[in-house]
Amino acid sequence: MEEPLNLVLFSGTDDKLQAAAILTAGAAALGKPVNVFLQYWALDAFRADRIDTDHGLVAEAGEVGRQAVHALRAAGQASWAETLRQAKELGGIDIQACSLSMDLLQIEQTDLDPLVDGVEGVTAFYLNAGAGQVVFI
């Protein structure tokens, strides 16, 4: 069994989530299993009622950076949520919400987008991660 790629998503801005979605989709296309663990602001962005809304960009983007990202979107780049949905069709992607963050943000699993497969603690995350790389975004 191939070692999975394990992504811990912490930041909830669209540019970080886009980078994470691209890495996830790339790994899935290569046939590598991917475990995604959603914490804090990234988890908040996966709420069903706001997953497809604007989550802003990191501060360094600036106003014109935002426009460059939107221009790329207008030119046909898929949103991070759409990229993840496409990637999930390839199989091998497991997206789990961090149980502690769920409590912190007072989110129920029913509040989350169907992209999220379940809720787990950090121990389960590390057990599933095995010897694979863990990348914090």
- Rounded CA gap, 108 and 17, in Å? 21
CA angle 3, 18, 35 (to 5 degrees): 25
Nearest to 102 by CA among 87, 122, 85: 122
Return the number of the residue (68 or 127) whose C-beta is nearest other proteins.
Answer: 68
Distance of CA 133 to the CA centre of its chain: 16
x/- letters, 73..112, toward other proteins (CB under 8 A): --xxxx----x--xx-xx----------------------
Q: How far is the CB of 24 from other proteins (least distance, A)?
A: 9
> Does position 115 bind other proteins by CB under 8 A?
no
**What are the angstrom distances between the C-alpha of 101 and each of 12, 43, 98?**
13, 7, 5
Return the number of the residue (60 or 108) whose C-beta is nearest other proteins.
Answer: 60
x/- letters, 14..53, toward other proteins (CB under 8 A): -xx--x--xx-xxxxxxxx---------------------
Mapped onto helix, strand or coil, the DSSP state of residue 97 is strand
Q: Which residues in this chain contact other proteins in the complex, by CB under 8 A?
A: 3, 5, 15-16, 19, 22-23, 25-32, 58-62, 64-65, 67-69, 71-72, 75-78, 83, 86-87, 89-90, 132-133, 135-137
